[in-house]
Structure 1
Amino acid sequence: MHIWQMQEAKSRLSEVVKEAERDGPQEITVHGRSVAVVLSRAEYDRLAGTGESLASFIRRSPLANAEDLDFPRDTSLTRENPL
């Protein structure tokens, strides 16, 4: 990851964006402290996920309509309360 000082990143923004797309995330610092990261749109979309709800994901599952699923319960004793 390339590290850019804020002043340099501001003056060379198009280069920062191109490098984010080509080489991955670009870190921006202010007074030596990391304050931001520039990502390509593809990397952002990958990290952000699909935006699909868990219920929709489960409905798409090949097991969604299976009637013969068996989930055995754990019949072991619970822990004793230490109080």
Structure 2
Amino acid sequence: MESRWPVQDAKQRLSELLRRAVDEGPQIVTKHGEELAVVIDIVHYRELLGVELPADFKLALTHGAGSDEFSDILDEIVAEREHDLPRDIDLVDHG
């Protein structure tokens, strides 16, 4: 749902404006009643540019990836982390 925000409101409530752009869709910023700008989430922006987004964990959480896609993303993260764990810890007392 598109909403309109006078510039002053947009400045004072920027966090809400950004949240609503992600959750609800484009948000129009106005100045003296004239449309000035539109705030859209990064996914829609990149779609407009024709830029393909890499799969990432945050995107899956915030944009409701299907369960198979989400599972694949988690599997990738686990596979990457397996090489990092366990780590040797040096327990030398420096005191």
Q: If the TM-score is normalised by the length of the shorter chain, which range does it land in?
A: 0.5 to 0.7
Gaps of 5+ in 1: 52-83
Compare relative contact order (CA 8 Å, sep 6+) and give the higher one, 1 or 2. Answer: 1
Query: Would you identify which runs of 4 or more consecutive aligned residues in structure 1 move more than 6 Å?
Result: none
The aligned counterpart of 2:18 is 17
Q: Normalising to structure 1: TM-score of the pair?
A: 0.59
Bigger share in helix: 2
Partner amino acid, structure 2, of 1:16 = L
- Deviation string 1:4-51 (CA, Å, 9 cap, x unpaired) is 000000000000000000000000000000000001001101111028
Q: Which has the greater radius of gyration?
A: 1
What number of residue pairs does the alignment pair up?
A: 51
* Cα separation, 2, equivalents of 1:48 and 1:25: 16
User: Equivalences for 1:1-83 in 2 at 5 Å?
Assistant: 1-50=2-51
Match of 1:64 in 2: none
Letter in 1 for 2:18: V
